[in-house]
Chains A and B, each alone.
Chain A
């Protein structure tokens, strides 16, 4: 076993840390909360130039194909100041595009995004589906030249700003079936596609989509018809792994912010951090943070496991832990700040909100606990 970062990985972490400090402190996220888009193209381009957008993807499409560990390390550091650029959306839309797409699709949709010239979004959630990618009612009917898509998608992360969207739809079967799920590439301006920007609790924007008979050519289909579910579920696990690493950055930040406050804030003539009740609380926050960091490492490593069952098991462990530990840390972080923690002026509330969103995206604790229990590994050795 080896949990040490390589020299290159350490340099990468350093460079993200210095970016976060210089170019995107928390004030930037605060400012961008009120903007229509919520993130900036110039910064997106800067991130591409720093080589951060392509780390997961092969050189043939413009990436550097390191591993998800590098992606996770970047996202963890970006989480410390809640940097709003849509990297996780790039990963979740980019993975099925990469795995299922052909060279032409790669060149047209993936490479420009890795170069920081466009951004992507993955649209898979529907009203009655909760977090299950199979529970979709959106249909793609075969037409003479391609497909006609009808249905609606909800809470599409970066869906409001993306130039291209990867959208799931049924080419056969009904809600709940594993077969019959297909993925399509849509342009933002595709006729028949209606996007409504919605506001999220964490200050980000996302989109609700209405697909009102969107006509696309066959070249917009990713891979074989009806066979996209494995790649889609893989993408969602990448998304979950990304939230676990971002969550680790959030927790670490709240832990330190709270620790500092306990040291500075005085009541009853002493720093409140001298009260043992609060010391123990801070220690519990520390323990939870360390647990979640540990499982985030598990997620980073196993998201790329060959065996889907191994991957799913590890991701579900990490995602459930994130919800539990992260929830505890931000709640206590708020509590220990007293009244000021409930103001919008104080940063702790921003992390509180983001943590709820991270705990929810790509499956909440209920979803992942259930998935964990449904895997063969759960009942192995139990006759």
Chain B
């Protein structure tokens, strides 16, 4: 056993770090330094910069424009990006529909969609959840009727993140209402967001930003070429995709970055005539969280080492999602606590609180979503109970 990255991997880490420092435009670097939130347009501009370097899609195979990195390099890259505070790229094209098209798509789909996803020229969103199909996704009801040369879509999706900016949406739709099992009548379809009959209404989140939307389909026509894989095989494909990049779901870099922010806040906040960072109780509390994060990091390394050897990520990745999101939330809880009364601030004028603190309350609120989306933590626990521990069902 060996728990260190190879010299080569460490050199790669340095290369990534140097690159980010050089490539991040000054305005974005300033925002990253203040841990500010990025506008969608800023995220896309960073996407295009990374794309030029060939680093926008670390996990894509080389033939489709990926850099051809191993799992360790992908982890290092993602950790360094997150640690830098640079914008996080939208995952829907790069991490979700892209790999699915690569694996199951037609040649037409590969040529039509992949280059634009990679280049950041077309933005995607994910249309899985519906008002009555959340954790129980297989109950989804968006209908796609076969109309000869096209499908006709009717129904509603919800919680569609960044649908308001998207050029395309990939949906799971019901193509066979008669199937024996609900899972068997679902297809994976790509749909142009500018289609007639498609409307989007953004929700305000508890974080005070417009992050997700309701998306309605009323007689929306979708050409048949936009069906990915076989008819009624959507569920199987979507599930295959779930294992994808599961080694990155812990968000180690996000938490590391938030912990650094916590330490800086503690350094800059006075209490009892000294820095909060020098209060032994506070110090211990920050340390306790960092210890949890270090443990998770080791668990994550084990998953990566497995992936290096070519093992498909198994249900163990649920551990990373579970603990990773809990720690992300705990990091923001901690920042709020350290801020004291400043943690009450809500989108005030610059200077009301230190720049580093300005976005924390919004993120603290929105961060509650981390244990809900991408398979809620309760669902992750169900998976572990069933698939790892082999416990009986009720």
Contact = CB atoms under 8 A, between A and B. Distances in A.
* Chain B binds chain A: yes
A352 B368 contact: yes
Interface string A149-161: 0000011000000
Contacts of B382: 277
Contacts of B340: 130-131, 360, 364
A328 B136 CA distance: 26
A278 interface: yes
Contacts of B159: 339
- Band of interface residues on B: 35 or more
B52 interface: no
Interface stretch (A42-50, A199-207, A249-257, A305-313): A199-207
Interface in A278-300: 278
A344 B203 contact: yes
A183 to B, nearest CB: 19
Interface stretch (B171-179, B245-253, B266-274): B266-274
B interface SS class: mixed
Interface in B321-352: 333, 336-337, 340-348, 352
B205 interface: yes
Interface string A193-219: 000001111100010100000000000
Contacts of B333: 327
A199 B368 contact: no
Interface residues of A, number: 48
Contact of A201 (B270, B271, B345, B394): B345
A370 B281 contact: yes
Contacts of B336: 356
A132 interface: yes
A343 B205 contact: yes
Contacts of B372: 335, 338-339, 341-342
B341 A154 contact: yes
B294 to A, nearest CB: 23
B271 A130 contact: yes
B206 A342 contact: yes
A331 interface: yes
Contact of A335 (B271, B337, B368): B368
27 contacts: A130-B271, A130-B341, A131-B341, A135-B272, A155-B341, A155-B342, A199-B345, A200-B345, A200-B346, A201-B344, A277-B378, A327-B333, A331-B368, A334-B206, A335-B368, A338-B134, A338-B135, A338-B372, A339-B129, A339-B158, A339-B212, A341-B206, A342-B205, A343-B204, A343-B206, A356-B336, A360-B344
Interface of A: 125, 127-132, 135, 154-155, 175-176, 198-202, 206, 208, 266-269, 272, 275-278, 327, 331, 334-335, 338-339, 341-345, 349, 352-353, 356-357, 360, 364, 366, 370
